[in-house]
Amino acid sequence: MTEVAITEHRPTVPTTLGAPEPAIVAEVRGAVGPARLDGLAETLTPETLALVVLWLSSARRASARTRAGYARDIATWSTWYQRTRGSRLDLAGLTRADVSLWVAEQRAAGAADTSVARRLSALSSLYRYAGSHGIAVSSPITEDHRPRVTRGRTDRSAPVLSDDQMRALYAHTGDARDAVVLALLHTTALRVSELTAADDADLVSEGRRCWLWVTRKGGRRERVAIDPAVADLIDAYRADRPDSDGESPLIRDQHGARIDRHDITRMLRRIARAAGIRDHRRIGPHSLRATAVTQLADAGVSPTEIQQLTGHAQVSTVMIYVESRRRDDRVAAMTAQLAAAVTVPGWVR
């Protein structure tokens, strides 16, 4: 249904771009999923849908994960618009009042400021893409619409685990797959999407070194060194894992299919619960990435070197962890100094 809607309707707003080629539609469909693209086809005008498909196919949004994320954010806008305005979203017709109402409803529904800011940024990016190609549409989003998002770690950030907690996690892995997932996320600081997308062919050996090729944000390919102990775990897991039909994902479920980030989150929380970690419900893949960055920073590794491991686009992102750790240490030292005057009365038991 989506392909017909895109290829049979010539856009009237994005006249400088034209309708996307079927190959582009198929590429975007594969990245965002047929259901998501069909949903956009039902909630966007044909002209705006064509523009969204071309925008998603841009080299600046090369990775499937990025495209899927942007598609979800645009779907948030289009489904809201159809529900409240009773028509499909036309990029040329969205008003400042619409954006103000959308922001108010998002906040009333309890959406995090980071989520609101991200969805506003996605829509702004679409407008910039249109403008860069000579399309006469003006973004209705203003700075007043954008929530203030605090940089740095907050109480909603993924927990950083202590050395003792990490040892407890390793001690309570249930099988080889648990151990491999935990070790890869921790020792290589991988994003969960990089791990779930990895195939057998991405694991290569060169002499005594083992490497894993991963697809970073933006679609660039980089290889990450695998420690020999972790490589041994992978060999043990691969020797006894389920067979796979067609694809050859590195990490598989009990049926041989590729696991996703939800599978890994459930796995880690199960291990954390068994390990006796109090806030195990907050543990997820990013906790291991944050823990790896923090441990390396505590060990004196420079932020630029940590950036090479993690694949962050900007070293400033790594500095968020470093500065947060320094702040925690400074605050703890100050409270300890002030607590020197604390005496416990005898009546306290």
In DSSP notation, 245-290 reads: SSS-BSSB-TTSPBP-HHHHHHHHHHHHHHTT-TTGGG--HHHHHH
What would the two tokens of residue 274 be?
């068994």
108-143 tens-digit pLDDT: 998 888 889 999 999 999 999 998 888 888 899 999
Same domain, 176 and 321: yes
pTM (two decimals): 0.65
The answer to whether residue 341 is domain-embedded is: no
The CATH number of the domain where 221 resides is what? 1.10.443.10
The answer to whether residue 172 is domain-embedded is: yes
Same domain, 172 and 274: yes
Confidence grade of residue 152 (pLDDT, cut at 50, 70, 90): low
164-217 tens-digit pLDDT: 999 999 999 989 999 999 999 999 999 999 999 999 999 999 877 899 999 887
Domain containing residue 185: 163-336
117, 145, 173: which is the final residue of a domain?
Answer: 145
The answer to whether residue 157 is domain-embedded is: no
Same domain, 98 and 219: no
Same domain, 193 and 328: yes
Q: Give the Cα separation of 100 and 94 in Å (integer).
A: 11
Looking at the structure of the chain, the number of domains it has is: 2
The answer to whether residue 347 is domain-embedded is: no
The answer to whether residue 97 is domain-embedded is: yes
Same domain, 201 and 124: no
12-26 tens-digit pLDDT: 444 456 678 888 888
Backbone angles phi, psi at 20, to 5 degrees: -70, 145
Same domain, 68 and 26: yes
How big, in percent rounded to 5, are the helix, strand and coil portions of the chain? Answer: 60, 5, 35
pLDDT at residue 249, as a whole number = 93
